[in-house]
Amino acid sequence: TIIVDVKGRLICMVEGKQIYMIESHHSSYGLENHGFRNLEQEHWNLNVPALYEQAIRRHEGVLAYPGALVVRTGDYTGRSPDDKFTVCEPSTEKEIWWGTINRETTQAEFNKMHQRISGYFENRDIFVQDCYAGADPLYSLPIRIITEHAWQSLFARNMFVTITDSQSLNRHVPEFTVISAPGVTAVPGLDPTSSGAFILVNFARKMALIGGTLYAGEIKKSIFTVMNYLMPKRSVMAMHCSANYGRDPDDVAIFFGLSGTGKTTLSNDATRTLIGDDEHGWSDKGIFNFEGGCYAKVIRLSEEGEPEIYRATRKFGTVIENVKLDAHSRRIDFDDDDFTENTRAAYPLTHVEKADYDGIGGHPGHIIFLTADAFGVIPPIASLTPAHAQYHFLAGYTAKVAGTEEGVREPTATFSTCFGAPFMPLHPTVYATLLAERINMHNAKIWMVNTGWTGGPYGKGERMKLSFTRAMVRAALEDKLDNVKKVIDPVFGFKVPTEVPGVPAKVLVPRNTWDDPSSYDTMAKDLAARFQDYMVQFEDKMTDEVKAAAPRA
């Protein structure tokens, strides 16, 4: 039996005797400030073992061998971008990049959903995690994650910068709050969403509401959206990228890319130190992680291919979503995609043996744009000029990988400006300008790396071997490609190296990998035309030099 004593502490009782106490550190800034009343039990800042107990007792997940918590997210196994809305209100109305990415809703709609959630939680248990976004104390944002489920509270504890000092927790006042209530669903037709899920962000109220979906990635990306709004106001470049460094914390590399392009995989390198796998800021001091953990795709994960991630999934405290589990042995089958291609593992940075737990590094010397080219025509690695970098940062070309969003069943060619349009509330040129300033100031080398298809488009070609990609990235970061012979790609204008240690020369020039070179030419021109069609919207914002970096159809 779990009881609450007069001080609000949780105590486990067996046959009337106290067995142990569950630490629960309250903030003096209570839940009534978020509109909650008549709650059953408040679980404040529970630690990992306590959250395991709660999750398993509530049948939210099962314990896998040798220690991870395995959960299912139901119908939603990826993000729901069509159900995400931003409140249009006077203080931010003129700043938001409104359109198909940042869809607007009203304050009245937000208030209605907030009241619905508040009513839903009456006489129910609630879980609270007080933490920070932003590893650099100078730019840290105090946040609060309120969830219906214990496992989502554990997810938040893994993903953000935790607070371990009880006095700091007592004084914690959030500057932004996310409330996740999967049991509250929207009604299409009555509510603005296209399904039962909803994600509503209100910058004026400093609050985000999530309902109808158990997919924990919505919590993570809501805070990322907030940081992407706030940081540029402080001259910090907000980036959808992973980061690591070599022997020296000033030997930093960053990897831009959408989910599934290889940010987490390539930044987890045994020869380098991981700073973070997905979200960072670039200030006048250098790089800092927005998060305190990793959220890795684990479909077909193997110890041989991705040893650092594999080892993290075997540790106590890791939450793994939507994987198949053997009922008898409790071992995970990472190859099974019956539930989704977008199987995920959330774990703290401390689960990575070679990571910088402070989450801070110097200024990047190398910038890598990752694309999973479904057409099979982008070179596997190429050197970019600063003008190329600005153009392709605005374009953000890649393929949406199966499962990362609802409805995506196979790789689909897409453009996502800044390599993360769904999370960028400001106009893309705000971020592009900051990036250009940083590149020019620190003379960073820029690379395009294609982790997608070679030898033909999706369905005919094959995915680039991870061993080849790792060899190319490593050679670039060790400056081994600076003096090798390069050829100019006739369509994209990139400088393509003709030799890379450990990689067959034929692979480096994509036209050479196609059985029919004329088909390659047709496909390359088709992709170039798609670039031009998409980039028309930014023409008035681009310099002549950046316009000249466009692919030639």
328 is catalytic: no
Examine the residue annotation and report whether 278 is marked as an active-site residue of this protein: yes
Specify whether 259 is catalytic: yes
Reference 455, options 516, 514, 403; nearest CA is 514
Ordered DSSP codes for 502-519: TB-HHHHSGGGG-S-HHH
Task: Count CB atoms within 10 A of the CB of residue 269.
Answer: 18
Q: Which amino acid is at 107?
A: Q
Burial zone of 55 (CB within 10 Å; 0-12 exposed, 13-18 middle, 19+ buried) = buried
Q: Which of 264, 273, 383, 404 is catalytic?
A: 264
221 is catalytic: yes
Cis peptide before 497 (omega within 30 of 0): no
Buried b (16+ CB within 10 A) or exposed e, 476-511: bbeeebeeeebeebebbbbbbbeebeebeeebbebb
Identified catalytic residue from 259, 267, 283, 371: 259
263 catalytically annotated? yes
Q: How big is the chain by its Cα radius of gyration, in Å?
A: 24
Q: Which candidate in 25, 26, 43, 79 is catalytic?
A: 79
Which among 205, 272, 344, 388 is annotated as catalytic? 344
Instruction: Return d(Cα 324, Cα 332) in angstroms, integer.
Output: 6
Catalytic residue among 84, 149, 157, 240: 240
Three-state DSSP class for 2? strand
149, 220, 263, 297: which is the annotated catalytic residue?
263
Residue 429 a catalytic site member: no
Residues 130, 278, 356, 489: which is the catalytic one?
278
Catalytic residue selected from 149, 221, 427, 530: 221
Amino acid at 407: G
Instruction: Read off the amino acid at residue 228.
Output: N
Which pair of structure tokens corresponds to residue 241? 């990228």
DSSP 237-296: EEEEEEEEESSSTTSEEEEE--TTSSHHHHH--TTSEEEESSEEEE-SS-EEES-SEEEE
DSSP conformation class of 350: G
* Catalytic sites, residue numbers: 79, 221, 240, 259, 263-264, 278, 344
